[in-house]
Amino acid sequence: MPQAYWAPLAMVVSAVVIVMVLGLGVSVLVLIARGKIPLDGLISEPGTDKASLSRFQFLLFTFVIGGLYLLLCIENGTFIEIPSTVLGLLGISGGSYIASKGIQTAGVQATANATAKVAQAAADATAAQAVAAVRAPRRPR
């Protein structure tokens, strides 16, 4: 008897969950198609037109492994096991992307620091020249 009460409720909850999940997915697709979600940093660093290997491989493995996982789950009708080597592959790919970003950020920071030091040294030299010019004894006419 209780099952008779719960079955319609389960149907309603399932329908609501499906509408929410697929609605969210469709809205993301529409936003990408309209350009509201920018793809500038998909395979290249923003502001440059050179592709990034670490970004590209991260994208590739995410689609390949994610798609295959979804396909096998549908075929089996349940969640399937993910081998440690596949998890390692995803981890190495993601770790390489993070390390690559770290190296790049450190390089940019070092360049900015060095440029600031050069600018400071130039400003100091100019100031010293100005002080020396003021202090220099004037030649008698």
Partner 1 sequence: MDVGAFSVILQYGLLGWLVALVLIVGWRGRGRWRALIRLFVSEGFGLQLGAADLVRSQLGLALTVTVAVYLAEAVHTLFFMHGARAMPDLPKELLAVFTGSQALYLSGKAGRSRSKEP
Question: Least Å distance between CB 104 and partner 1?
Answer: 7
> Following DSSP, what letter does each residue of 99-119 receive, concatenated?
HHHHHHHHHHHHHHHHHHHHH
Which of 4, 5, 47, 53: binder of partner 1 (CB under 8 A)? Answer: 53
Residues in 115-134 at the binding interface with partner 1, rule: CB under 8 A: 115, 118
Q: How far is it, in rounded angstroms, from Cα 74 to Cα 88?
A: 24
Any residues with CB less than 8 A from the CB of 34 and at least 6 apart, and which?
none
Looking at the Cβ atoms of 112 and 127, the one nearer to partner 1 is 112
CA dist list (Å): 124 to 5, 46, 90: 84, 36, 51
Residues in 78-97 at the binding interface with partner 1, rule: CB under 8 A: 80-83, 85-86, 88-89, 92, 96
Per rule CB under 8 A, is residue 74 in the interface with partner 1? yes
Chain-centroid distance of CA 70 in Å reads: 23
Q: How far is it, in rounded angstroms, from Cα 108 to Cα 98?
A: 15
Written as one letter, the residue type at 120 is: Q
Looking at the Cβ atoms of 29 and 130, the one nearer to partner 1 is 29
Q: Which residues bind partner 1 (CB under 8 A)?
A: 10-11, 14-15, 17-18, 21-22, 25-26, 28-29, 32-33, 35, 39-40, 42-44, 49-51, 53-54, 56-57, 60-61, 63-77, 80-83, 85-86, 88-89, 92, 96, 99-100, 103-104, 106-107, 110-111, 114-115, 118
